[in-house]
Structure 1
């Protein structure tokens, strides 16, 4: 996966235009969340785009944990800083962190392996709504606000058993939604396979805000808006 068309540089820093971020979300991740639209008043860069650029610039380790600490907009000029051995921080021009990364184990520098693993994860991650979140919300009889849906990318983990792989594939193993008041924590666990070999595992965590009682009409509205949004882009 080539990332050059999805970011720009300003000296040692990198940044994302609204058009670049939106194109990545829709074309690469298949993510049609309106918050990534260029004209969105609440615009933010997809977390998976920041994640992908970290892997492309730093490399891949056997164990990596990513924690998103703030949203990124098109005004942020970012730098990847190694704050301590095995600790990375993506910070804007004011020193505010948007992503913290913990790295352990053997480092994998093969660009083709990194690009393929990144592509497979981003494709998996971008399909969260409606395929995964709607059944979880239905099971817990809660839902996000259909007029102002808020799902925040919280963290993700990748654990590799081996640096030797060619064609990684992600397979979902568990989905879970824990609810506390109007806040939910969605956890998506997956395994990494290369052919018939299990090569690792990982998880993605999201925070759902403004939860309310489940309403099928509201869910149908959300899914309908998502479908129309996707159809308008695909043409």
Structure 2
């Protein structure tokens, strides 16, 4: 599957290096958040990569909810397991949980169906910033710390009317940011479309940390850096 170059297996454990996580963020998601740079002081594996690996490993179910519990760093040995309570968990050797998944309904392991959905979902996630979240911050008059921009997954849910949804695409239906002290709670709701027909729903919750008063000049500099990194990646 296309995910092979974004992880490795050693002694039965799954590892994601900083280089692999960064490559996935840039090549598949179009995500140029500095936190995914290999040399970032607080490097974090993209949550979208964990989502993709989980679906590839356990299959795609008609109803799935992903809870992102902890940020994952460079080359942490991971175990993917399904516990007696039916919850899928990704843990390290100290039993620290990084993501939990609940699922219901019929499922499929068809690699083509999974890859098409993953690529569609991840490509849309790459638009979170600046396309979607910047206007939300501007509207509320708040922004993250421009020196340490931090937008983190909290949860994601997926409901599909059918698993056979060719040419899936996500269309944003609702987007909202609610400031809460130094953090902003973001809710994004999408329609999952297949050849012009609605095939399901996707909802995401994210957290923007380090909120402060909106500074248009500082935000413009962050956006400029985003596109500069994007252009550099494709040179």
Q: Shared fold by TM > 0.5?
A: yes
- Give the TM-score category using the shorter length: over 0.9
Name the CA distance, whole Å, in 2 between partners of 1:132 and 1:166.
25
**Contact 1:86–1:104 (8 Å) recurs in 2:** no
Matches within 5 A, 1:34-45: 34-45=34-45
RMSD (CA atoms): 1.1
Mapping of 1:58-137 within 5 angstroms? 58-137=58-137
* TM-score (normalizing by structure 2): 0.97
Paired with 2:70 and 2:220, the residues of 1 have a C-alpha distance of: 30
Deviation at 1:229, TM superposition (A): 1.6
Partner of 2:147: 147
Distance 1:209 1:104 in 2: 32
1:172-183 equivalent positions in 2, closer than 5 A: 172-183=172-183
Q: Give the C-alpha shift of residue 164 in structure 1.
A: 2.2
**TM superposition shift of 1:23:** 0.6
Q: Distance in 2 between matches of 1:166 and 1:150?
A: 34
Gaps of 5+ in 2: none
Aligned length, in residue pairs: 235
Q: How far is the alpha carbon of 1:85 from its aligned partner?
A: 4.8
Distance 1:26 1:119 in 2: 13
**Aligned residues of 2:14 and 2:77 also touching (Cα < 8 A):** yes
Equivalent position of 2:32 in the other structure? 32
2:61–2:106 CA contact under 8 A, matched in 1: yes
User: Helix, strand or coil: the match of 1:131?
Assistant: helix
What is aligned with 1:225? 225
Are 1:165 and 2:176 counterparts? no
Q: TM-score, normalised by structure 1?
A: 0.97
Partner of residue 215, structure 2: 215
Task: Assess if the C-alpha contact under 8 Å between 2:68 and 2:100 holds in 1.
Answer: yes
- Confirm or deny: 8 A CA contact 1:67 1:100 kept in the other structure: yes
- Kindly indicate whether the alpha-carbon contact (under 8 Å) linking 1:35 and 1:42 is maintained by their aligned counterparts in 2: yes
Render the CA deviation track for 1:105-157: whole Å, top value 9, x for unaligned: 11122111011101100000111110011100011111111111111111111
